A and B are shown apart, each in its own frame.
Chain A
């Protein structure tokens, strides 16, 4: 198992290189120069512009910039933000906890709603409960996150005043953004849980469990759900990535000061070092979470081993 984990971690290296290359390529493919944007519509002194470009290393050939950047990243230096003039790592460090906490709470909400809705609709298949749960799932899948966010803001913050509009790192302040993301993510989960459970509920061992007189709850939770967990875990791992990227939009809507909001502003400003830093951190988080999911497979299903 340890060897497997180390091997997976080593795989991060080519992933990082790929991300660095792709995000760097963005500089060539995406029109817009950060220094020009900075001075747009302003009087500018050509010498000052040249000096700023020199300071940022933008006057060097692209391949040189790339190697300087990669060399910096290898030493833990993600560069300096063009717009805020702070170290990219400091910007991300200040904001990543916000995004991470939001993602975790959203995931928690998604898991609770998704499991409950999915199990109920599987157990009570073709009943009104099933119909309601699946309509909910369909609605969640169809609804844009920012739209749901604005809806919740309007009802629960502006009209009822139960929660603040502006996200803040407090239990009250986290409710609306977490519920927005959680509800959206729970829709997919509910559908997967349902189909996965339906499959398992028809298995012989479930019939056996019932035949030997176990109470229904035990049958569902210990026998059926446990065996249905593998696809569910996979989806949860994937959803984590979806939540991280969903946070990009939701953070802007709730003025939640995480890396999603940072990335949106960085994109508008063509602040490439910042964009690259955010993508690198998000991608790394995603890979690590999916590694954890893979490890959990072995925990959930003893038949799975890694060597």
Chain B
């Protein structure tokens, strides 16, 4: 820890104006409990996160899975009215929730790993605020008319940390490693229909696809697309994942197992991303990712000055917002998606039942009471932050909270309230179990609210909570009625991931929908793709395949001495502009 963020400086402030308040302590104790461990990256369903979560979620400050663009006033002020020249130096102390499995882009899809390696490797493109790919290491690119060939032109003079050049051959080898069957790369599926690569010249690489694959730009803009140094791969072999060499703003320094990962500034770095301010080497000397799995501990470490940036729980966020020692960075257009899933069994495979349940979701109350306001009600079956999301479609085809409409839907389909006060169609009774996973306090409270609303409406709902790993097995077996699920994914392809037959947990099978999804995933023109995505959204809503609920925001907190921190469009943390006030 350097002088910049030494705990003493912050503590002086803290001591001077704060007593041990009951509220503060309750805040600290309240946090806890939820360590989600999800599995995935930006891609995943997060387990929780809420802060914790699985982090890439909110959990990881370092790897927020979500995006950034929304910055609160404090930060906006910093950007609008620069309060001084950026200062070089210092260690930026961050937290990750677990020891990553590998720092090799071809060797992992783990969210935590991605959150660290994002700063070691540059990618061909990044996704801009308008959700289109922009040049990064690739200077430009062109697609063939049929969309099955993409040729990327690589910039000259981009150097790896080991002094070798990042050229077309390095790009080709990086992606061929993922395609290599012997590598068994978990990232293989992210490459879609990519078949092979061809080196056109020293700085041009042709990517050949079996059929057009629209999500490719998003997928290679996140950590799977990191370009690795072929020389380092050859030198370290299987050990490359623990000795990563890329061309990013930070180079690998050390990784004592189970403790922390330290990266240091790459002095020769040239930043080609247009969404950052700094086009040269990073300002901070080092990034330290300490492994801290408990969200309460992360908050305490932030308050004591041992961490500079951390995720915070939605219960704590209001207190932190009021505290002048900290700033809150929140990403409202996030790629988090909370929804109810239904088993493919009677009566849940009756559209009227799903529609009625969707009408009973009081989204605003859930947002206010369970998420402390840090979420956006969502009527669409995909996160609010994705290309194609359009509230009007939700209003027109979706199911805003409306108990009268729910009643009408059921009555029209022949259901009535039985003698016991529960809806019945003579054959079935609307009594069911709502399953959710443990560790996410927001979801627990939300499910309780939902249960109360549904029961008042004449359903007989019980709640069941399970450890995340156990719940996964249960839903994949189809051994549930209705469950609350949370996914995070940065591209509209989330629709295919969830709903393409047989559905991600085998509960959806719909050929018409499959065709719509295929059309969206193979449309390479961004505008036309949005139209195709919206066709699918309408269909999913008409069938009420799921009941969308909300997109929870990503909330990070940073010490007031931290400047320039932001999350990018896909929720990736950007540290290149960060400087620490000395």
A residues with a Cβ closer than 8 A to B are 30-33, 36-45, 47-48, 51-52, 55, 83-86, 90-91, 94-95, 146-147, 150-151, 153-155, 157-161, 164-166, 252-255, 257, 261-262, 264-265, 268-270
Contacts and interface: CB of A to CB of B under 8 A. Distances in A.
A150 B16 CA distance: 22
A153 B46 CA distance: 28
A147 B33 CA distance: 11
29 contacts: A30-B470, A37-B39, A38-B109, A39-B109, A40-B44, A41-B40, A41-B43, A43-B190, A45-B188, A47-B181, A55-B184, A83-B101, A84-B99, A85-B102, A90-B257, A94-B256, A95-B257, A146-B32, A150-B28, A154-B300, A159-B14, A159-B18, A161-B7, A161-B8, A165-B306, A252-B35, A255-B293, A261-B291, A265-B98
Interface string B484-511: 0001110000000100000010000000
Contacts of B297: 153, 165-166, 252-255
A157 B186 contact: no
Q: Chain A interface secondary structure, helix, strand, loop or mixed?
A: helix
B552 to A, nearest CB: 15
The 6 closest A-B pairs by CB, nearest first: A32-B469, A41-B45, A43-B189, A161-B11, A41-B44, A31-B473
Contacts of A161: 7-8, 11, 14-15, 304
Nearest to B97: A265
Contacts of A94: 256-258
A268 B469 contact: yes
Given A158-B14, A255-B294, A41 B38 contact: yes
Contacts of A32: 467, 469-470, 472-473
A284 B259 CA distance: 25
Interface in B413-441: none
A166 B497 CA distance: 39
Given A37-B469, A159-B15, A268-B469, A253 B294 contact: yes
A199 B15 CA distance: 49
A41 B476 contact: no
Given A153-B300, A154-B300, A158-B28, A264 B293 contact: yes
A9 B474 CA distance: 42
Given A42-B41, A90-B257, A161-B8, A255 B35 contact: no
Contacts of B102: 85
B301 A165 contact: yes
Contacts of B241: 85
Contacts of B291: 255, 257, 261
A253 B299 CA distance: 11
Given A158-B300, A265-B98, A45 B189 contact: yes
Most buried by A among B8, B46, B297, B301: B297
Contacts of B257: 84, 86, 90-91, 94-95
Given A36-B472, A85-B241, A157-B304, 20 more contacts: A32-B470, A39-B39, A40-B38, A40-B44, A40-B472, A43-B189, A51-B184, A84-B101, A94-B256, A95-B257, A150-B32, A154-B20, A154-B300, A155-B20, A158-B300, A159-B19, A166-B297, A261-B291, A269-B469, A270-B469
